[in-house]
Structure 1
Amino acid sequence: MPQHLLLLLLLLFLLSTPPLIVSLNQEGVYLQSLKHSLDDPDSALSAWNERDDTPCNWPAVTCDPDSHSVVSVDLSNTNLAGPFPSLLCRLPNLTFLSFFNNSMNSTLPPDVSTCGSLHHLDLAQNLLTGALPHTLADLPNLRYLDLTGNNFSGGIPDTFGKFRELEVLSLVYNLLDGTIPAFLGNISTLKMLNLSYNPFFPSRLPPELGNLTNLEVLWLTDCNLVGEIPDSLGRLKKLTDLDLALNALDGPIPRSLAELSSVVQIELYNNSLSGGFPPGMSNLTALRLFDASMNELSGKIPDELCRLPLESLNLYENRLVGSLPESIANSTGLYELRLFRNGLTGELPKNIGRNSPLKWLDISNNQFSGELPASLCEKGGLEELLMIYNQFSGPIPASLGECQSLSRVRLGFNRFTGEVPAGFWGLPHVYLLELAENSFSGRIEKTIAGAANLSILIVSKNNFSGSIPEEIGWLENLYDFSGSDNSLSGSLPESMENLEQLGILDLHNNEVSGELPSGIKSWKKLNELNLANNKFSGKIPEKIGSLSMLNSLDLSRNEFSGNIPLGLQNLKLNQLNLSYNRLSGELPPLFAKETYMSSFVGNPGLCVDLEGLCDGKSEAKSMGYVWLLRTIFVLAGLVFIVGVVWFYFKYRNFEKAKRVIDKSKWTLMSFHKLGFSEYEILDCLDEDSVIGSGSSGKVYKVVLRNGEVVAVKKLWAGGVKKDSESADVEKGQVRDNVFDAEVETLGKIRHKNIVKLWCCCTTRDCKLLVYEYMPNGSLGDLLHSSKGGLLDWPTRYKIALDAAEGLSYLHHDCVPPIVHRDVKSNNILLDGDFRARVADFGLAKVLDSTGKGPKSMSVIAGSCGYIAPEYAYTLRVNEKSDIYSFGVVVLELVTGRLPVDPEFGEKDLVKWVCTTLDQKGVDHVLEPKLDPCYKEDMCKVLNIGLLCTSPLPINRPSMRRVVKMLQEVSPVNHSKTAKKDGKLSPYYYEDTSDHGSAA
C-alpha cells in the first residue's frame, strides 16, 4: 500500500478516537476552590492547573509518597488575601498549613477545629481580627500554633489550657487583653510560649508557668506584668531564653533564676527591679546575653557574672557602684558591653578587648577614671566607643588611631590631655567624633581628609590651636562642626564652601581671622552660625540673607565693617547678634526696633532713632520732645494697664458665674468606662491649660484628680477655623460637621494606633471632645523642631509602621471603610514611648460598598503638600488619597524636611525628592542627622514612600500592602526570628544607648 495512503488512514483513526479525559482528584478540587476564593495579585497560584489529575506536583503542595494524599500546604509570603479557607480542613491527611505573611482577613472561624490532622498551623503576620476561637484546643494533634502579628482581641480562651500535644504557642503582636492566664501552666508539652506585645490588663506573672518543665523559650515582653518574678521559674531547667522586658516588675531578681543551667539569654530590661544580683550566677554556664538595664538594681557587678562566657552584657541605667571586675576582660566572646548611667568607679580592666571581639562599648555617665586601655580595638572590630561624662585622663592611645572599624566616638566631658593621634582624625568610617570639654592640645590634623563619612565633629572647650586645615572642606557629609572655646587661628579655608550639608558652624571664642568665604551661599542647610568673639573682618556677605534655613546668627565681638546687609531681613531668625563690631550706616528697617537694640550695641558707626545706638548729635535739640513723649506714653500705659486688670477680674467673675449656671445643661456621652465626670473637665478649661490650637478648635491639657491626664478639644463656636498650614476646607462645613465626624468615627472604632476618644460633652452652644493625652505631641511639631534629634531612625521607622497600621485598619478592617482625608504629620500623635496614633477625624468620610465616597466634594479638603494630585481635578474621596498623604509623611521621616519649603521653590517635598534623587543621588535626600548605619533601611523606606506618592492612584499600594512592606524592612525582623527559634543571634539587640547616653 502506498505510504501516503497509510498516513491518511492513521490520521482518520486518530480523529475518530475520543479524547482522553483527565479528572482532577477530590483533594485537587478542594485546592482549586481555595485558589478561586482568595485574591492572588502576584499570581502565586497560577501553576495550580485543574487539568492535572493530582495536586501533588503543584507549588506549595506536598503529598505523602505512598498514599499520594496532601499532607502539607505552605503558602507563606505569597501576598494572598481573603478569609481563612475552612475547606482545607476537608483534606483528611493535612498536617502542615502555613499562610505566614499574607493578608488573610476577617475572623478565624470556629470550624478550624475540623482540621483534625493538623500538627502545624502558622497564620502569623496577617490581618485576622476578632476573638481567638476556643475550638482551637480541640485539634488533638496540634503541636505548633503561631498567630503572631494579627489583630486578635479579647482574652485567651479557657480552653487553651486543654491542648494535648502543643509545643509552640505564639500570640505576639496582637490586641489581646485580660490577663495572662494561669491555666497555660497545664500545657505540659509546651516548649515555647510567646505572648509579647499585647495590651493585657496589669497582672502578675502566674507562678503556674513554673510547671512547664519542658519550656525552652518564655517570651513575655511588654505584657503589662506587675509584681515580683515568681521563684517557680527556677524549675524551668530546659529554658534557654527568658524575656520579661518592658514590664513593671519589681522586687529583687529571684535566687531561683541562678538555677537555670540551660539558659542562654536573660532579658529583664525596662522594669523596676531592685536590689543586687542573686548569688550562684556562676551556675549559668550557658549564659551568653544578660540584659537587666533600665531598672533600679544596686550594689556591685559580681565577679561571678563577669566570669561567664558572656557575649552581651547590658546593665545601663541602674544604680550600680564599685569597679568593673577584671574578669570581664577574659570573656572571649564579648562583643557588647553597655553600662552607661550608673555610679561605677575605678579604672577599666587593662586587657579589655584583647581577648574578645568587642564591637560596642558604652560606659558613659559614670565615674570611671584612669587612662584608656590600648587593647580596646585589639581584634579590629570596635565600632562604638562611648565614654562621655566620666573622669578619664591621659592621652588617647595610639592604637585607636589605627582602629579602622570605628564609626561612633564620644570621649567628651572627661579629663583627657595631649595631642590626638593623627590617624584618629582620619578614621574612614567615623560619622560622629566628639572630644568636647577635655584638655586636648595640638592641631586638627590634615589627615582629617580621610574621614569621608564624618557628619558630626565636636571639639569644643579644649586647647586646640593652629589653623583649620583646608582638608576639612573635603568632608562632603559634614553637618555639624563645633569647635568653640579653643585657640584656633588663621582664616576659614576657602574649601569650606564645598560643605553643602553644613547645618551647624560654631567657632565662637577662638582667634580665627580674615573674611567669611565668598561662597557662603552654598551652605543652603545652615541652621546655626556662631563666630562670636574672634577676629573676623571685612563685610558681612550679602549672600548670607539667602540662607533660608538659618535660625541663629551670632557674629558679635569681631571686626566686621560696612553696612548690615538688607538681605538679613529675609531670614526667620530666633537669635541675631552683631554687637561690638565696626558696622556703620543705617539699620535695615525691620531691625530698627527696640527689641533688636541689644543685637547692635557696640557699633559706633550705626545710627537709628534708638537710644544707645546713635552718637547723640541731635540729642540736646530733641531732649524736650523726648521727655514730653515719654510722659504721655507712661500715663497712657498706666491707664491701659488699670483698664485691663479691671476688665480681667470682671470677665473672670462673669465666666465663673456662667460656668456654675451652665453646668446643669451639659450632656455627657461616653465611649469607654470613665473615672471622671464632665464637671471635673469643665473646671479645668482655662487659658493656662491650652496646649494647642488647630483647624477646628482649641486643645486643653486637663489633669484630673486621680492623676490621669486627658486632652480636651473645644470646637470653635462659629465653625472651622482657617489654619495657616491647611488648605481651605469644604465650603459651609461648620463645627457640628467636625464634631459629628469625630464622634461617628472614634466612638465606634478601637485600635492601638488610633487615638482614643474617651467621651464628648455638649450643650446648645458648645461641644467638647475628650481624648487620651499624648505627652510627646504631634509628629510634625517634634520632627521639625529643635527636638527632632530625639527621633532616631528606629523610632521614626516604628512611627511610620504604627501610623500605617492605623490607616490600614480604617481602610480594610472597618465596615464600611473610612477615609481620613487629612493625613499629615501634625495629625499623628506620639505617646510617652513615641508610639504613634492617628488623630483628628474632623474631615473623615465613610466609603460605600464600591469603595467610593458618598459624593464628590465641593472643594479640596486636606493640607498643603499632602494633597494627592488627582484630588485637585476629580474631588473624589477614596483611600488612595490617604495613601498619597501617608507617603508624604514617610518622606518627611526619611528626609527631615517639611512638605512645603521655600527652598523647594515651586516644588513640594515629593517633587524635590524625585528631582534630587535624579540629579544628586540618595545621600542628598536622607536626613543627615540620622545614623548612617541605617542607610540601607532608610533607602528601603524611602522607596515605599515614593510608591505611595505615585502620580497615578492605581500604582499606589493598598495600606494593607504598605504595612507588609514596612514589616519586611524592619530592623527587628532578625530579633524576632532569633526569639522565635529560641536561639541567640548577634542581631538580637535593640539599641537604647542613644536614649541613655546623651547620644
Structure 2
Amino acid sequence: MIFLFLSFLFISFPFLSHSLNQEGLYLLYVKNSLSDPDNALSSWNPRDPTPCHWFGITCDPTTYTVTALDLSNSNLAGPFPSILCRLPSLSFISFFNDSINSSLPADISSCQSLTHLDLSQNLFTGVLPASLADLPELKYLDLTANNFSGDIPESFGRFQKLEVISLVYNLLDGTIPAFLGNISTLKMLNLSYNPFIPGRIPPEVGNLTNLEILWLTECNLVGEIPDSLGRLNKLTDLDLALNNLVGRIPSSVSELASVVQIELYNNSLTGELPRGFSNLANLRLLDASMNQLTGNIPDELTRLPLESLNLYENRFEGTVPASIADSPNLYELRLFGNRLNGELPGNLGKNSPLRWLDVSNNQFTGQIPASLCEKGELEELLMIYNEFSGEIPESLSKCQSLSRVRLGSNRLSGEVPAGFWGLPRVNLLELVDNSFSGPIAKTIANAGNLSLLIISRNEFNGSIPEEIGFLQNLSQFYGANNRFSGSLPETIVNLSDLGILDLHGNHLTGELPSGIESWKKLNELNLGNNSFSGKIPEGIGRLSVLNYLDLSSNQFSGKIPTEFQNLKLNQLNLSNNRFSGELPPFFNKGIYKNSFLGNPGLCGGFTGSCNGRYEDRDGGYIWLLRFIFVLAAVILVVGVVWFYFKYRSFKKARALDKSKWTLMSFHKLGFSEHEILDCLDEDNVIGSGSSGKVYKVVLSNGEAVAVKKLWGGVKKGNAKEDLEKGQVQTKDDGFQAEVETLGKIRHKNIVKLWCCCTTRDCKLLVYEYMPNGSLGDLLHSSKGGLLDWPTRYKIIMDAAEGLSYLHHDCVPPIVHRDVKSNNILLDGDFGARVADFGVAKVFDAAEKGPKSMSVIAGSCGYIAPEYAYTLRVNEKSDIYSFGVVLLELVTGRLPVDPEFGEKDLVKWVCTTLDQKGVDHVLDPKLDSCFKEEICKVLNIGLLCTSPLPINRPSMRRAVKMLQEVGTASQPKAAKKDGKLAPYCYEDASGQGSVA
C-alpha cells in the first residue's frame, strides 16, 4: 500500500524525485491517511525539499532529519500512522488531544529512537500493546484519557529507561501489577481513574526508589497501605485518595523525606495519625479528610510549614495545640466536623498569613482570637456550631480581606463592631442563633458586595437603617426573631436582587413602603408576628416569582387586593389581622382554608356569607333559619354536582380500562384527579416522547397544569435509537425516580410536581405549567430572537441554582443524569426550572466516588466522556452537561450538528477558539455590548466541560463564578495572538465547607 502510494506521487508529481526527500514522502503518506477537517497540515507542501519547515515538524539542524512530530490539538482523526517509525531519528511523537481512533499497533516497537510518546486524550481502543516495552530509549509514555482496556501487559516490567507512565482515565480492568516495581528508572507512576478490579497496592512499588510522583487516585484499591512506600525517599507527591483503603496510616510515611503533599482523603483509614511528621520538613499539604481517624492531632504536625491542613470529617477529639499558631507558613486551617474542644490558640494568625479558617461543627469554647487577621489576609472565617462566647473582636472590623463570615450557632453576645457591618468584600455574613444585641450600624452601607445577611434569632434592636437599601447585591435578608422596631425604611424597595426577606417575630410597625413591585426576584416574604398596619400594597400582587407569603399576626386592614389572584403561591398566611370585605373568589379553595383565620371582618368563601351578617343582635333566630336554609341548598347543590362528576368520572374510568385511579399529592391541591382525566384528549397534547405524551390541562379555576402520561414499556420502533442515546428507561423506573425525587424537594428553580395519578397500566404526573416551553425548543427555533443576553443569563443562573440545590442542599444529594436544554423549562417571565427527573439517582452519603450504572442515561452531546466510557456517574457528570448548556446559550448552536462533522459542540468550540478566535464562536444574534460578560460565561462553560472530572468545578462553585460575571473583581480575559485564553480560577474543585 505504501509502495503504491509513493509510486502514485512520483507519477503525479515528477518533480518530487528532484525535490522532497524520502522522509517528506513518508510524512505525505501520514497526511493522506489522516482526516484533517481543519487543514492543520495545509503547510505540508510536496514542493519543499525537506519537511523541516512544515507545521509540527522539528529537524536536526545539521542533518535535516526529522527528530520530532508534534500535532497536538490539531483535530486529526484516523488510525495511528505506523509509517512514522521509518523516520530513523524520530524521538518525539505527540498527538495530544486529537481524535486518533484505532488500536495502537504492535509494530510501534520499530520506532527504535523514540524517547517521548504522548497519545493522551484521543479515542484509542483495544489492549495496551506489549511491544511498547521493546522501545529501548522510551522515557515518557502518556496514554491518558483513551479507551484502552484489559490488563497492563506483563512486558511493561521490562522498560529499560522509562521515567514517566500515565494511564489515567482509561478502561483498564485488571489489577495494578507487582511487576511495575521492576521499572527502576520510573519517576512518575499515574494510574488514576481506571475501573480496576479490587486489589491491594503492590508492596513492590516500594522498589521504585527514583519515584517522585505516585498517583493511584480512584483505582478501587483495598487493604492497607504497605509499609514499603516509606522507602520512596525521592517521592514528592503521594495521592491515594478515593479508594477503599483500610487500617492505619503506616508509620513509614514519616520517612518520606522529600514529600510535599500527601492526599489520603475518601478512604476508610482508622487509628491515629502516626508520629514522626517532624521529619517531613518539605510537607506543605496533608489531606486525610473523610476517613475514620481518631485521636489527637500530633503536636509536631502543627509546627510544620504547612500551607494546607485538611483533616475534616474524621473523629478527632481533644484540643488544638497552641503550637499550631507558631507555624509561620500556615494559611489554611480546616478542622471542621470533628470533636475538638477547648479554646483556639490566642495568637492564631499572629505569626502566619492565615487566609482560610474553618473550625465548624466542633465543641470549641472561649473567645474568638483577636489575632486571626493580624496579617490582613483572612478571607473565610467559618466557626458555626460551636460554643464560642464573648464579643466579636474589634480587630476583625478592620479585616478588609474578609469575604465569607459564618459565626452562627454559638454563644456570642454583645454589640457587633460598627466596622464589621461594613466590610467591603464580605459576600456572606451569618450571625444566626447567638445573643448579639444593639442595632445594625449605618456603616453597613459600605458592604457593597454583601449578598446574604443572616442574623436571625438574636437580640438585635433598634430600627433597620435606611442604608440597607444601598446594598444592590443583597439577595437574602434573614432577620427573624430579634427585637427590631420602627418601620421598614423606604429605601428597602431599591433592593432589586432581593429574593428572600424574612423579618418575622420582631416589633416592626407602620405601613409597608410603596414600590414593592420592584422586587422582581422576590421568592419569599415573611413579615409575620410584627405590628405592621395599614393596607397591603397592591404591588405585592405583581411579584411574579413570589412563592411564599406570610403577613400573619399583624394589624393590616382593608380589603385583600384582587391582584393577589395573580400570585402562584405554595404558602399563604394572612391570618390574625384586621382585613374586611369580601374574599376574592380565587381564594375559595381548600388549600387556603386556614390562610385567613382571625379576620372577623372578612366574608365570603370559608369565612361565611357576606349577606348573612346582621348588626341587629335580635335577628339571631332569623339568621339561624337562613343559615340552615342556605346550608341545605348548598348540600343539595353539592350533592347534585358530586353525583354528576362521580358519574362522569365513572364513565371516564370505564373508558380507561375500568381501572381505579389513585391520587398521591405533594402539595395542597385545588383540583381532583377527575378534572385532570376529563381533559386528556388529543387536542390538548403539547409534546410527546418515548415514554408517553404531555398534555396541557386548563382547570376550572382558570389555572393550567402540564400532565405527563406514561404508558408501559419503551416506545416501539425507537428502541435502538434510545439505546444508543442511553435513554432506555422503563415506565416504572422513570415514574418511580420522578416521584421519589420531585415529591420530596422544594426549590424555586426545580419544576413543581403537584401530584401523581396511577392505575394498573397508566400513570400520570401533574406538573406546574410552563408557558414558554423548554429552553432547547425556544433557543433553536425561529423564536430564538426572544432570548437576548440578559434573559439567557437569568436562565443560566436559575438552572445553576437548581442544580446546586440538588447536589449540595439535598440530603442525600441527587444527580439528575439528563441535564440538557430541553429539560430546562421556562415560565411566563423566562424563569427557569430544571425538569424531567426520570433517570435521576439519589446518592447515599456513605457512598464514595462515582456510582456504577447498568446503562447510560442522558442525551447525545451532553454525556460526560467518563460516564460514556465507564458507566460510572457522580455530580461531575451533571456539571459537564450543564457546561454544554452554557455553550449552547453562548453559541446558539445545537450540542450535535452535521456541520461539526464527527465533533460535538464542546470540541467545535475548542477548535474554533484555537484557530479562528472568539468572534467565530459567539451567537451573532447577541448584542456585542455584552461581549465581555458572554466571554466570561463561555470560559465557565469550558471549565465545566473539562475532559477530566477533577478539573470541573462543583455546582456551588459554578454558581459563585456565574454570580461574579460582570463584577469589577472579575479578572480580565487574557489574550494571545488575538485569541481568547481561558480564565484561571483558584479552587476550581470547589472543595471547602458547606456554604
Q: TM-score scaled to structure 1, two decimals?
A: 0.70
TM-aligned CA deviation for residue 486 of structure 1: 1.2
TM-aligned CA deviation for residue 826 of structure 1: 5.0
TM-aligned CA deviation for residue 637 of structure 1: 14
5 Å-filtered alignment, 1:76-155, equals: 76-155=72-151
Q: Does 1:259 align with 2:245?
A: no
TM-aligned CA deviation for residue 589 of structure 1: 0.9
1:26 maps to 22
The residue type paired with residue 523 of structure 2 is N
2:857 maps to 839
1:741 to 718, 726, 748: 718
Aligned residues of 2:248 and 2:270 also touching (Cα < 8 A): yes
Superimposed CA distance per residue, residues 766-799 of structure 1 (whole angstroms, 9 cap, x where no aligned partner): x878999899969999893399768449979x99
5 Å-filtered alignment, 1:619-658, equals: 619-625=623-629
Aligned residues of 1:742 and 1:841 also touching (Cα < 8 A): no
Residues 1:988 and 1:917: Cα distance change in structure 2 (over 3 Å): closer
Residues 1:717 and 1:56: Cα distance change in structure 2 (over 3 Å): closer
1:283 to 242, 267, 279: 279
CA distance in 1, matches of 2:440, 2:962: 28
Q: Which moved more, 1:45-54 or 1:364-373?
A: 45-54
The residue type paired with residue 625 of structure 2 is K
Superimposed CA distance per residue, residues 824-866 of structure 1 (whole angstroms, 9 cap, x where no aligned partner): 875774563688996367999xxxxxxxxxxxxxxxxxxxx99
Q: Does 1:585 align with 2:589?
A: no
5 Å-filtered alignment, 1:821-970, equals: 829=840, 832=843, 839=857, 917=930, 934-935=961-962
Identity %: 57
2:991 maps to 992
1:67 maps to 63
Q: Can you give the 5+ residue segments of structure 1 that lack an aligned partner in the other structure?
A: 1-17, 644-653, 656-685, 691-715, 761-766, 808-822, 845-864, 870-874, 891-909, 944-964, 973-986
Residues 1:573 and 1:237: Cα distance change in structure 2 (over 3 Å): same
Q: Which moved more, 1:474-483 or 1:876-885?
A: 876-885
Residues 1:776 and 1:743: Cα distance change in structure 2 (over 3 Å): farther
2:828 maps to none
Residues 1:771 and 1:490: Cα distance change in structure 2 (over 3 Å): closer
CA distance in 2, matches of 1:718, 1:54: 58
Aligned residues of 1:340 and 1:366 also touching (Cα < 8 A): yes
TM-aligned CA deviation for residue 631 of structure 1: 8.8
TM-aligned CA deviation for residue 876 of structure 1: 15
2:433 to 421, 432, 437: 437
2:304 to 292, 308, 312: 308
TM-aligned CA deviation for residue 516 of structure 1: 2.2
2:692 to 720, 738, 748: 720
Q: Matched residue of 2:388: which SS? A: strand
Residues 1:528 and 1:286: Cα distance change in structure 2 (over 3 Å): same
Superimposed CA distance per residue, residues 894-922 of structure 1 (whole angstroms, 9 cap, x where no aligned partner): xxxxxxxxxxxxxxxx9998799589999
1:245 maps to 241
TM-aligned CA deviation for residue 253 of structure 1: 1.2
Superimposed CA distance per residue, residues 486-516 of structure 1 (whole angstroms, 9 cap, x where no aligned partner): 1122222222222221111111111222222
TM-aligned CA deviation for residue 146 of structure 1: 0.9
Q: Does 1:340 align with 2:336?
A: yes
CA distance in 2, matches of 1:775, 1:338: 38
Aligned residues of 2:820 and 2:859 also touching (Cα < 8 A): no
Residues 1:27 and 1:366: Cα distance change in structure 2 (over 3 Å): same
Aligned residues of 1:175 and 1:198 also touching (Cα < 8 A): yes
1:368 maps to 364
Residues 1:602 and 1:719: Cα distance change in structure 2 (over 3 Å): closer
Aligned residues of 1:756 and 1:772 also touching (Cα < 8 A): no
Superimposed CA distance per residue, residues 672-710 of structure 1 (whole angstroms, 9 cap, x where no aligned partner): xxxxxxxxxxxxxx99999xxxxxxxxxxxxxxxxxxxx
Equivalent pairs counted in the alignment come to: 808
The residue type paired with residue 785 of structure 1 is I
TM-aligned CA deviation for residue 451 of structure 1: 1.6
Q: Matched residue of 1:508: which SS? A: coil
CA distance in 1, matches of 2:550, 2:254: 59
Q: Matched residue of 2:694: which SS? A: coil
Aligned residues of 1:824 and 1:866 also touching (Cα < 8 A): no
TM-aligned CA deviation for residue 453 of structure 1: 1.5
CA distance in 2, matches of 1:467, 1:413: 24
TM-aligned CA deviation for residue 228 of structure 1: 1.7
CA distance in 2, matches of 1:802, 1:795: 12
Q: Does 1:488 align with 2:484?
A: yes
5 Å-filtered alignment, 1:405-424, equals: 405-424=401-420
The residue type paired with residue 395 of structure 1 is E
2:461 maps to 465
CA distance in 2, matches of 1:884, 1:227: 42
Q: Matched residue of 2:228: which SS? A: helix
Q: Matched residue of 2:507: which SS? A: coil
Residues 1:107 and 1:261: Cα distance change in structure 2 (over 3 Å): same
TM-aligned CA deviation for residue 622 of structure 1: 3.5
Residues 1:37 and 1:163: Cα distance change in structure 2 (over 3 Å): same
Superimposed CA distance per residue, residues 568-602 of structure 1 (whole angstroms, 9 cap, x where no aligned partner): 22222110001111111111112113431211011
1:784 maps to 749
Q: Matched residue of 1:721: which SS? A: strand
The residue type paired with residue 509 of structure 2 is S
CA distance in 2, matches of 1:72, 1:929: 43
Q: Matched residue of 1:722: which SS? A: strand
TM-aligned CA deviation for residue 273 of structure 1: 1.0
1:519 maps to 515
CA distance in 2, matches of 1:355, 1:867: 44
CA distance in 1, matches of 2:903, 2:856: 15
Aligned residues of 1:866 and 1:885 also touching (Cα < 8 A): no
5 Å-filtered alignment, 1:373-388, equals: 373-388=369-384
1:548 to 534, 544, 548: 544
Superimposed CA distance per residue, residues 865-906 of structure 1 (whole angstroms, 9 cap, x where no aligned partner): 99999xxxxx9995579999989xx9xxxxxxxxxxxxxxxx
Superimposed CA distance per residue, residues 272-312 of structure 1 (whole angstroms, 9 cap, x where no aligned partner): 11111112222222211000011111111110111222111
CA distance in 1, matches of 2:902, 2:21: 44
Q: Matched residue of 1:409: which SS? A: strand
TM-aligned CA deviation for residue 456 of structure 1: 0.8
TM-aligned CA deviation for residue 522 of structure 1: 1.5
CA distance in 1, matches of 2:62, 2:336: 62
Q: Matched residue of 1:606: which SS? A: strand
Superimposed CA distance per residue, residues 737-768 of structure 1 (whole angstroms, 9 cap, x where no aligned partner): 7255345653xx6xxxx75979x8xxxxxx87
CA distance in 2, matches of 1:175, 1:75: 25
Residues 1:736 and 1:482: Cα distance change in structure 2 (over 3 Å): closer
1:331 maps to 327
1:474 to 458, 463, 470: 470
5 Å-filtered alignment, 1:395-414, equals: 395-414=391-410
CA distance in 2, matches of 1:619, 1:593: 25
2:881 maps to none
TM-aligned CA deviation for residue 206 of structure 1: 2.2
Residues 1:402 and 1:85: Cα distance change in structure 2 (over 3 Å): farther
CA distance in 1, matches of 2:711, 2:806: 40
1:675 maps to none
CA distance in 2, matches of 1:568, 1:790: 26
Q: Which moved more, 1:23-32 or 1:360-369?
A: 23-32
TM-aligned CA deviation for residue 609 of structure 1: 4.2
Q: Which moved more, 1:620-629 or 1:66-75?
A: 620-629
Q: Matched residue of 1:457: which SS? A: strand
Residues 1:789 and 1:601: Cα distance change in structure 2 (over 3 Å): same
Q: TM-score scaled to structure 2, two decimals?
A: 0.70
Residues 1:988 and 1:209: Cα distance change in structure 2 (over 3 Å): farther
